[in-house]
Amino acid sequence: MKIVLLWIFFPLFLVFISLPLFAQTTATVRGRITTSDNKPIEYISVALQGTGKGAMTDARGFYEIKQIQPGKYQIIASGLGYKKAGREITVLAGQNIEISLTLAESETQLQSVEITGRKERTYKTKATFIGNKTQTDIMDLPQSVSYASKELMADQGVVRTGDVVKNFSGVNQFTFYDDLTIRGFRVNGQSNTQLLNGLRTSTGFWKQPLTNYLERLEVLKGPASALYGNASPGGVVNRVTKKPLDENRKSVSVSLGSFNTFRGLVDFTGPATKDSSLLYRLNLGYEDANSFRDLQFDKNLIVAPSLSFIPDEKTRINFDLVYNSSRSRLDRGQAVIGNNLNSTPISLALSTPNDRLNENTYMVTFSLSRQLTDKLNFSASYLKTGYNEDLYEHRSANAYAVDSLGKNIPNLVAMQIFTRQRKRYIDNFSAFLNYTGKTGAIEHKLVAGYDYGSEKTPVGASQLTASGYRNVLNNGFIASYKVADSLKYLFDKKGIPVPNVPSFDLNNIRASQQLQDDSKAFYTVASIAPAYYYLNAGYIQDQLKWNRLQLLLGVRYEYYTDFSNYAAPNEVKTHSHVWLPRLGAVYSILNNLNVYGSYVTGYNPQSASTLANPNAGGPFDPLKSDMIEFGAKGNFLNDRLGITTSVYRIEQNNVLYPANVEGKPDLLKQVGVVLSKGIEFDVTGRVTPYWSMIASYAYNRSYISESPNAAEEGMQNPNAPRNLANIWTRYNFSYGLLKGLGIGAGTNYVGKRTLSLNTTQSIPEYMLVNGALYYTVGKIQLQFNANNITGKKYWVGGYDYIRLFPGAPSNYLATLTYSFN
């Protein structure tokens, strides 16, 4: 036994006695980075060239680099908005060196493509690319932008878009798919109006992908067509991927939580070469989780590598890949009996163990930025998106089963079976020039560019559908039941029409959720016609500055080509075109306070390609919209805290809504005019160096102002609450017995919402309470998040009382993160 103990403890003893010896052979460099007037600068990168070692300054400007081998080095301090500074140092074994540097503000050209990674570690983001296609201070953008940084997402323990956007004013979930409402208008992942690094893309819609590879998630409010083409009038969602950094940062985290959740995340970045001409970043994510919803699960794998090649100070080339493999079931929501929201549990899903939803998505981006002269920069980006869907599901037919008189049987939900396979490919190319110069006392930031975009659903997509009621010969089915044709139907012993797919019995849930023998169902081939469209667009925009006044003048011309009956003998090209102006003004009342106003227009074709639904009807006229917005933006507390407030009016024509025609559940109709008016208020940043917060409030009145059906005028848009409010805050203890401890807390309020235009059905308001604890010791952080602490029952959205989307009950997540260089 003594020999065994000796073998165990002798190696540990050698490690223990070697630590002081190792410390004596290495050195530590520490110091402070300040401005010329001796103010501390945080988030400045301090690096020892050629070693891969570095550090980031804290809120008081201090940094520390440990375990440096003896030798001569060049220490360099750099950060956005400041000129680099450095000096040569000689490091001796066991030495502690104090090196402080002063940085001067820089007036160098900002990036025109988001290639270089963001080094800050705070909720607040100073600049964005989404508003001007070049790095622009959010203060100088005459339009409202809401955003969430990776730090906020990590603190809240969220990895889904729907959970992130609860922090934004005027944004809420429509369903629990990749499906949102922004300023009263629906925006979803399948509509090809979402952006990845400012380029048009799409998601699978049915599932919200993990967000662990994102630097931030941001929403540009209002129509964005003048820069990005067809888009929702409410706003456009931009997902910004993490970019490589020129310093080593590595982190590994493991999370365990409610609903058998397991999640592992990896984020590695740093120089791949000694001269930092090649930088890398690798984000990996794996998730295996069940749900509070019956029979639901998610298995996700994210692989997101990124490379930045910087051959010289004027050229940057970037490669990004995001690959997501998802295995799950498609959840079509909760159904209730009649109009009683409490008649079934929120866990109820109409799925069976037969069901599956397998999705694979990739997004590959190449970006180039080249400084041609001191005033002229060229940028080009290409994004390829591929999506593959393999679906088998039991779902509602969006109606209750009926008796022989055609009356609803409120405890029986009519069911159908879908089995579908399809692919979708999206290409987006963008090239533009940025010019900065002066005409007398007027400064110019000129952007002129060209966009190409296309989406294709290739030949081969198909779907089998089993639905409706069996015919009297029991050798086929009829899509819907009509009393006048009752002799055509098969009836059971109770005199009820026999469904093709057994109805879901809300009074006997477990029996309906068992494995189903689908071999007895009758199927028909539902057409998923191949589709293809492409667009060509050119745009020009100038941001002029004279003293405290800035003017933004822009226009885009877009030529849109759609293929009717694509890949068929009767294929026909159809064309449309539009001019899209954009106007804005910003005036600096104070150095830290700007007021702004803007007028922007929107345009979105409503063709078979963009709707991706052959049963929607049509043809439909394109959506057209415009927005007037006024607001103010300020940076306070030494630029730590940003505040934005805005008022707006959006008008949109030719909106599509469900027609609610019996037997045609996918049929859409066009209404006249929709108006959206509201106010918004956002606060993001830090009150003190150790107290972070984000808060928002929005009032929105979004309704039909003109319609062929007079009864619809004045109706609130579906899933568009009038009031939204949110606050989240985190405080870190930096000294004393509680040093290393952090606490977080927040609430999220969503007002009452109607579900559709043709029903009085609604879902109630709710307020959630969330909390978190953090403990950091050395390179390890322990984190515990508790969500919906009060156990509030609520619904995030829905279409009707057969398709409700409930929110999660009380749940928790525990996370262990190890960060190292």
Tokens of 651: 């008008």
Residue 240 in any domain: the answer is no
pLDDT, residue 1, reads 46
pLDDT, residue 613, reads 57
Query: What is the pLDDT averaged over residues 610-626?
Result: 70
Residue 9 in any domain: the answer is no
- 773, 783 contact by CB (below 8 A): yes
Both 500 and 595 in a single domain? yes
536 vs 40, residue with greater confidence: 536
Both 318 and 229 in a single domain? no
329 vs 574, residue with greater confidence: 329
pLDDT, residue 2, reads 46
Query: What is the pLDDT averaged over residues 611-629?
Result: 75
Question: Which of the 8 DSSP states describes residue 408?
Answer: E
Q: For 153-169, write each residue's pLDDT tens digit.
A: 999 999 999 999 999 99
| Among candidate residues 211, 234, 257, the one where a domain is terminated | 234
pLDDT, residue 115, reads 58
Q: For 194-206, write each residue's pLDDT tens digit.
A: 889 888 888 788 9
Query: Does the structure show a pLDDT above 70 at 660?
Result: no
pLDDT, residue 27, reads 82
pLDDT, residue 615, reads 66
Query: Does the structure show a pLDDT above 90 at 429?
Result: yes
Residues of the domain holding 89:
27-102
Of 239, 204, 26, 208, the C-alpha closest to 128 is 239
Query: Does the structure show a pLDDT above 90 at 99?
Result: no
d(CA 70, CA 57): 23
The burial class, CB within 10 Å (0-12 / 13-18 / 19+), for 360 is middle
pLDDT, residue 617, reads 67
Both 225 and 301 in a single domain? no
Query: Does the structure show a pLDDT above 90 at 146?
Result: yes
CATH number at residue 207: 2.170.130.10
pLDDT, residue 129, reads 84
- As a three-state string, the secondary structure of 648-716 is EEEEEECCEEECCECCECCCEEECCEEEEEEEEEEEEEEEECCEEEEEEEEEEEEEEEECCCHHHCCCE
CATH number at residue 76: 2.60.40.1120
Both 184 and 261 in a single domain? no
Mean pLDDT for all residues in the chain: 88
Residue 174 in any domain: the answer is yes
Both 593 and 462 in a single domain? yes
Residue 11 in any domain: the answer is no
Both 145 and 79 in a single domain? no
Query: What is the pLDDT averaged over residues 344-365?
Result: 96
| Among candidate residues 102, 132, 153, the one where a domain is terminated | 102
| Among candidate residues 74, 102, 130, the one where a domain is terminated | 102
Residues with Cβ within 8 Å of residue 503, at least 6 apart in sequence = 401, 409, 412, 413, 414, 415
Q: For 708-767, write each residue's pLDDT tens digit.
A: 777 778 888 999 999 999 999 999 998 888 989 999 999 999 999 999 866 689 999 999
Query: Does the structure show a pLDDT above 70 at 81?
Result: no
pLDDT band at 609 (very low <50, low <70, confident <90, very high): low
Both 529 and 424 in a single domain? yes
pLDDT band at 413 (very low <50, low <70, confident <90, very high): very high
CATH number at residue 598: 2.40.170.20
- As a three-state string, the secondary structure of 507-555 is CCHHHHCCCCCHHHCCCEEECCCCEEEEEEEEEEEEEEEECCEEEEEEE
Query: What is the pLDDT averaged over residues 67-93?
Result: 83
Query: Does the structure show a pLDDT above 90 at 666?
Result: no
Residue 152 in any domain: the answer is yes
Residue 654 in any domain: the answer is yes
Residue 51 in any domain: the answer is yes
If one counts the domains in the chain, the total is: 3
Q: For 787-820, write each residue's pLDDT tens digit.
A: 999 999 999 999 999 999 999 999 999 999 999 8
Q: What percent of the chain has pLDDT over 70?
A: 91
pLDDT, residue 24, reads 59
Both 165 and 280 in a single domain? no
Query: What is the pLDDT averaged over residues 25-35?
Result: 86
pLDDT, residue 808, reads 96
pLDDT, residue 89, reads 87
d(CA 333, CA 179): 14
Residue 310 in any domain: the answer is yes
Both 328 and 200 in a single domain? no
Both 614 and 709 in a single domain? yes
Both 215 and 69 in a single domain? no
Both 348 and 470 in a single domain? yes
